[in-house]
Amino acid sequence: MRAAPARSGLAANEMIERYRAVRSASEALAAPLSAEDCQAQSMPDVSPTKWHLAHMSWFFETFLLQPALPGYVPFDAAFAILFNSYYVGVGERHPRAERGLLTRPSLDRVRAYRRHIDAAMLRLMHEVLEERWTALVELGCQHEQQHQELILMDIQHVLSCNPLQPAYRAETPRRGTAASLWRSIPGGLYEIGASDGGFAFDNESPRHRLWLEPFEIADRLVTAGDYRRFIEDGGYRRPELWLADGWNIVEAEGWRAPLYWEQASGQWTRFSLAGRRAIDPAEPVLHVSHYEADAYARWAEHRLPTEAEWEVAACRSDLRELYDEAWQWTASPYVAYPGFAPASGAVGEYNGKFMINQMVLRGGSLATPGGHARATYRNFFPPAARWAFSGIRLARDKRARAESA
């Protein structure tokens, strides 16, 4: 992340309110879950809820309380290793795939850890108001919000593995739907990336210019009904629609539909946070990999937008379903912007070192905390990942269409 320029005049009580709201949102997400739910790890990519709850606190302890709060005493020295995710510069780490084996500390003790961190953070926010630390308080809050979405992604996967198919929460009613329209964006010189102002992660900077050819972009996301037609047209049996790496996985893993979809007696259902239920043809398709999004786009005779096209369109056109349904795969590999510089120190490991073998997703999802997403935000996952709330927005070349018309 970019060390967010401290908002000048940010009052301690404003920062404290922000911190409290974010921390209590994490507690609320875990509230419907039992201690057993919070313990399970259903695959290496999934972390137990208990681990998330502890790790979010570890982040504040490691990057703020230890360096900034005089006389701070860690809650438990062993947590430094157990709840370090990937910060090599900080020291040893418990293996990611074995987080579910951490039956100790208990969930109660992790909750006590959170209270310890909260008390110390309140002291820090009252007593230490140097600009470099207030920027890290905001980073810690943004980090916690990212893990809030991970808690939902991960618990959905955990619950999906249970034959009882339990629901995490009740169904949220859906709005009505309308057909997708194409929005036209003229070619030209544009700027993308975070400008100085509000918070942004380091990977969104620096803001820079680039050239775009004219294009069109769909104002809505591909629906489950659209995607079902791709399946029914043999989408998963036609190698010509797929990138070679994607086709290898289709064959190796036996993919026949998005993650969580099942077909019985001709009816498609999907597992969701509300349990297993019938596919709603009008809802955006979720839990597709980049490979599936790309194959669908090829089948539809369109393509995925680049991340620059997505950002320009999001800023200047009337697109819907940008931030509240599904993250949208782009055609762009996750690489550094020209002039990118990660933050100094171990916290600089936050984003930069992952800029290989991943694709960018833009927007936000039904699981993204309100106010967390923005037009310049760059999410990223390996192209085969499907457990995120990921979907598809289509684009097409305007020039090619005009010439072929």
Nearer to Fe ion, 85 or 289 (CB): 85
Pairwise CA distance, residues 88 & 97, whole Å: 17
CB of 56 to Fe ion, least distance (A): 7
Nearer to Fe ion, 139 or 249 (CB): 139
CB of 269 to Fe ion, least distance (A): 33
CB of 324 to Fe ion, least distance (A): 23
CB of 147 to Fe ion, least distance (A): 6
Nearer to Fe ion, 113 or 296 (CB): 113
CB of 85 to Fe ion, least distance (A): 5
CB of 247 to Fe ion, least distance (A): 33
Nearer to Fe ion, 41 or 85 (CB): 85
Both tokens of 93, joined, read: 């780490």
Nearer to Fe ion, 90 or 312 (CB): 90
Question: How many CB atoms neighbour CB 72 within 10 A?
Answer: 15
Nearer to Fe ion, 114 or 393 (CB): 114
Positions touching Fe ion (CB under 5 A) are: 85
CB of 203 to Fe ion, least distance (A): 15
Nearer to Fe ion, 85 or 330 (CB): 85
Integer-rounded Cα radius of gyration of the chain: 22
* Nearest residue to Fe ion, by Cβ distance, number only: 85
Comparing C-alpha atoms, which of 298, 235, 229 is closest to residue 268?
229
CB distance 130 to 50 below 8 Å? no
